[in-house]
Amino acid sequence: MKDMSVIKLAAISGSLRAASANTAVLRTLQDLMPAGVEMDLLPLDGLPLYNQDLDGTTPPTEVAAFKAAITAADGLVICTPEYNFGIPGVLKNALDWTSRPAFASPLKHKPALMMSCSPAFTGGARAHAQLRETLTGALSRVVVRPPVVIGGVHTKIQQGLLADEASLKFALEAIDDLVAEIHAQRHAAVYRQTRPAASLAAAVPQS
């Protein structure tokens, strides 16, 4: 039985790089979670390239484990670099695996918070549109809020952690918004289970 008193977040970094700034941001936030909220980092390293031939009832072990972790999480925190104005292939690959079966995947109705960072002053902002489209395609509930974009990130990481107070404060406000969205989605799930079925009987002649 799931413990509803604890909110579990799954964090995904869009970078595999050992010294990734995006992973550093998530690692820093992990230690600053509000009371009753836990966050695990889900590495993308082991995921094979998407192949629909392998995406049946028994997908590759790493894929099954990744999808199970997403299913178990109440919400997602994705922090990604911008690669050529979009999201890195490794992130798109992970979301493609997780997005199946279509319209009934672990991403469906999953609250998701988007963040980006970059050494550029634009902070990876141009990756957000593509990430939002992909998550929306999988019916995730992307948190609608001012975007979390950390520019000049190479000057803000110290000893593998984000050491910029303003960025951290903004990111933690966004985590609060994600938690609020998770509560909203819990109410929505109860509504979906209990609402009366719509009837067309009055409008459509019955034979």
Ligand X SMILES: Cc1cc2nc3c(=O)[nH]c(=O)nc-3n(C[C@H](O)[C@H](O)[C@H](O)COP(=O)(O)O)c2cc1C
List contacts with ligand X (CB under 6 A). Answer: 15, 17, 20-22, 81-85, 118-120, 122, 124
Q: How far is the CB of 96 from ligand X (least distance, A)?
A: 19
Distance CA 21, CA 62 (A): 24
Distance CA 132, CA 87 (A): 10
Distance CA 9, CA 178 (A): 9
| 81 vs 106 by CB, closer to ligand X | 81
| 130 vs 185 by CB, closer to ligand X | 130
Q: How far is the CB of 120 from ligand X (least distance, A)?
A: 4
Q: How far is the CB of 187 from ligand X (least distance, A)?
A: 35
Q: How far is the CB of 28 from ligand X (least distance, A)?
A: 13
SS3 content of the chain, % helix, strand, coil (to 5): 40, 15, 45
For residue 175, report the phi and psi dihedrals to the nearest 5 degrees: -60, -40
| 74 vs 164 by CB, closer to ligand X | 164
| 61 vs 155 by CB, closer to ligand X | 155
Q: How far is the CB of 12 from ligand X (least distance, A)?
A: 12
| 119 vs 147 by CB, closer to ligand X | 119
* Cα atoms in the Cβ-side hemisphere of radius 13 Å centred on 88: 22
String of DSSP letters for 55-103: -SSS--HHHHHHHHHHHH-SEEEEEE--BTTB--HHHHHHHHHHT-STT
- Largest Cα span, the chain: 73
